[in-house]
Amino acid sequence: MRYGGTVLLSEPGALEARLGALRPRDCDFVELEVPDVRVAEPALRRLGTVQKLLAAAGSGPVLLGAIQASDPAAGAVAEYLREAFPPDGPIPAVPAELLPAVREIALGEPGDPVRHGLFPSYPTKLARLALAAQGEYDAAVVLAAAERAYEPGRPYHAHDALACALVHPGIGAGERAGLVERYAGHGRNRRGWRSRKKTHRILVWSRRYR
């Protein structure tokens, strides 16, 4: 969902400045687009991998095509970072050359608050999910974060930690089933309906994912 609509950038200099300053949180609010791929080409030649992936996460179709053409290795990961959370599509494998960039977008481990207002953005949650799905986080750390995801006094309800635990290959089926059983009706009197609804979505998604 793009709350701020689409911003059309037709000047290469303005596009480069905007893309170079993108943060994960920005991708939840505004879609950036160009009228023609030729506007994007000069800027993309000078952008690093992190900024290209963030640009893809917050881009319209023309800009996305230009990004994927400029860096073919980013293809599936770039598409994935555009998803909502939890994602509708599959979780792609992150190639080794993209791991440092995806780790930077993840801004820490599952359940970690972030500096820009505590709540991780969609690209950050998705980056954490992709890293968890291929075992890039320690399984015990991820499981502990999921078990503490909804504790009173936490800075935010860590739906990302729960989702990461449900896909981590180092967390056994019994432990995952325990989390599902624990959270299926959890917090009815302690959490608001929006939080419970998001937890339910993650549990439904995890069954589909598996």
Strands (E) in the chain, as ranges, are: 6-8, 31-33
Round to whole Å and give the CA distance between 196 and 187: 7
Residue pLDDT, tens place only, 140-190? 999 999 999 999 889 999 999 999 999 999 999 999 999 999 998 765 557
3 pLDDT higher than 90: no
47-105 confidence digits (pLDDT tens): 999 999 999 999 999 999 999 999 988 889 999 999 999 999 899 999 999 999 999 99
* Full-model pTM: 0.93
Residue 132 DSSP class: H
Residues 52, 67 contacting (CB under 8 angstroms) = yes
Over residues 189-209, the pLDDT tens digits come to: 578 889 999 999 999 999 887
Query: Could you give the CA distance from residue 165 to residue 52 in angstroms, rounded to a whole number?
Result: 28
